[in-house]
Amino acid sequence: MENSLDTALLIVGHGSTVNPFSSMPTLMHATTIRQRHIFADVACCFWKEEPSLRDALFFFRDPAIREVCVVPNFISEGYFTRTVIPRELELSGPETGRANGQVWKYCEPVGNHESMTGYLLERAREVAPGVPEREATLLIVAHGTSLNDNSAIAAKLQAEKIRQRGLYAAVLNLYMEEPPLISDWLNLTETRNVVVVPFFISDGLHSYEDIPVLLGLETAQARAESGAQEIQGRSLFYSTAIGTDSRFADVIIEQAMAQRKQVSQSVS
């Protein structure tokens, strides 16, 4: 990996004021990346935790840092990546020049990366070992929100990509806050075996508490390390959030590098 010692990396996460584990994957990926000495500096900021996105406006005040790559550690394009992050970080587009001459480059969220499909499939296989895929339905579950129609697109795209591989009896993308709803899963699926992979960054409130309830699971059941949970004659296999995968550190770096390349190509 090429060093970018005039470049800093800012990883933007959601965070939580309630759940202590929400920001941990983002912080863990930052530590991993920092130890590789690829960037001049590596920092995180969060919507609901400290440091805030507004705090990050004062980061990287070293004259040697000419570029800052901003990578949203978000699963999907949506309200946060399109509205909140640009507003709070005062980003005007893919490239934003600052008064000190620094250029902040706004990168694609990690969930848009091409490796996601493979990671989702691996998670599904890990949580339901020995379950024939042809006899199972795979549910890619995500947040979804009425605030921005783009928020569910990433999960939908992933479901389509997996569906095209013809591995599972059915592949569905379901959402917490917009149809098709996670809470309708019993009506929407036909197979006995149903594998659920939360398309989320962390095992925070949504994947740990909310979605298990929507599925009809007790929270403790969802937290069970392995095995099926029986619900109304169905065997439900529930995975941890995709974003806890340690390889997300590589994805963050690649999203940063891709944006640098893209911008330099458009300039030359």
Q: Please report, as ranges, the residues that interact with other proteins according to CB under 8 A.
A: 5, 16-20, 27, 31, 37, 40-41, 43, 45, 47-52, 54-59, 61-64, 79, 83-84, 87, 147
Shortest approach of other proteins to residue 39 CB, angstroms?
10
Closer to other proteins by Cβ: residue 65 or 172: 65
What lies within 8 Å, CB to CB, of 124 at 6+ separation is 133, 138, 195, 197, 237, 239
- Confirm if 169 and 135 have CB atoms less than 8 A apart: yes
Strands (E), 167-260: 170-175, 193-198, 229-231, 234-238
CB of 55: closest distance to other proteins in angstroms? 3
Burial class of residue 240, CB neighbours in 10 A (0-12, 13-18, 19+): buried
β-pairing verdict for 229-231 and 234-238: antiparallel
In angstroms, what is the C-alpha Rg of the chain? Answer: 19
Q: How far is the CB of 131 from other proteins (least distance, A)?
A: 36
CB of 211 to other proteins, least distance (A): 20
Choice between 147 and 231, CB closer to other proteins: 147
* 8 Å CB contact between 196 and 236: yes
Reading the block at residue 200, the tokens are 């989320």
Closest distance to other proteins from the beta carbon of 83 (Å): 6
- CB nearer to other proteins: pick between 83 and 264: 83
Judged by beta carbon, residue 71 or residue 263, the one nearer other proteins is 71
Residue 173's identity, in one-letter code, is: N
Residue closer to other proteins, measured from CB, 150 or 191? 150
Residue closer to other proteins (CB basis): 126 or 178: 178
Query: Shortest distance, CB of residue 74 to other proteins, whole angstroms?
Result: 15
Q: What share of the chain is helix, strand, coil (3-state, %, to 5)?
A: 40, 20, 40
